[in-house]
Amino acid sequence: MIRYVKKYPISLIVISIIIYLSFF
């Protein structure tokens, strides 16, 4: 997971936003 974050930090941010929107 850490390697994925290092390679695709933007994707992680997008996923975080989607999860946030899905909860709220």
In whole angstroms, give the CA distance from residue 22 to residue 3.
Answer: 25
Per-residue pLDDT, averaged over 5-22, amounts to 84
The one-letter code for the residue type at 15 is I
Q: Which has more confidence, 19 or 9?
A: 19
- SS3 readout for the chain: CHHHHHHCHHHHHHHHHHHHHHHC
pLDDT at residue 2, rounded to an integer = 60
Categorize the per-residue pLDDT at 7 as very low, low, confident or very high, splitting at 50, 70 and 90: confident
Per-residue pLDDT, averaged over 11-22, amounts to 90
CA 18 to chain centre: 8
Q: Exposure pattern of 1-24 as b/e (b: 16+ CB <10 Å)?
A: eeeeeeeeeeeeeeeeeeeeeeee
pLDDT at residue 10, rounded to an integer = 83
